[in-house]
């Protein structure tokens, strides 16, 4: 259903360094350069993630109630991505752990205040 997600930034070099390092934990690299932003992913036929300066030239703002969820395949990867986000200067929005049966997640905000979550489903 989701083709890609884009978040806004007011400091493209800083945001790019954050996401290069964050996605590097998962072996994901940049796949597109838009001039005013970049996209990361594992292929053009898979969901992707972008960060850009807003098209309208206005300041980027974090949406209240907006969150991007990144799915991974293990608790170790949830732990690693969440820890890397905090190491890079992101803000903790919920420590890693179970939230309901089988849903293991950690929540953080990036350097522009955008909220993200990294999660996996743990089967019994």
Q: pLDDT for 82-119, tens place per residue?
A: 999 999 999 999 999 999 899 999 999 999 999 999 99
Domain ranges for the chain: 4-121
- The overall pTM is greater than 0.75: yes
Find the radius of gyration of the CA atoms of the chain: 14
Cα separation, 101 vs 76, whole angstroms: 18
**∠ CA 114-119-93, rounded to 5°:** 40
With beta carbons less than 8 A apart as the criterion, state whether 96 and 79 touch. yes
**Which CATH code is given to the segment(s) 4-121?**
3.10.180.10
Q: In this predicted model, what pLDDT tens digit does every residue of 17-38 receive, in sequence order?
A: 999 999 999 999 999 999 999 9
- Strands 37-41 and 48-52, how do they pair? antiparallel
DSSP 89: T
């Amino acid at each position: 259903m989701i083709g890609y997600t884009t978040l806004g930034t007011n400091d493209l070099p800083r945001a790019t360094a954050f996401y290069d390092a964050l996605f590097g934990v998962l072996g994901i690299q940049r796949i597109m350069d838009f001039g005013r932003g970049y996209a990361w992913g594992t292929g053009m036929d898979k969901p992707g993630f972008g960060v850009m300066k807003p098209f309208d030239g206005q300041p980027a703002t974090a949406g209240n109630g907006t969150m991007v969820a990144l799915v991974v395949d293990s608790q170790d990867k949830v732990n690693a991505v969440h820890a890397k986000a905090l190491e890079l200067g992101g803000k903790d929005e919920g420590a890693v752990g179970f939230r309901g049966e089988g849903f293991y997640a950690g929540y953080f905000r990036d350097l522009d205040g955008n909220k993200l979550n990294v999660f996996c489903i743990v089967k019994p």
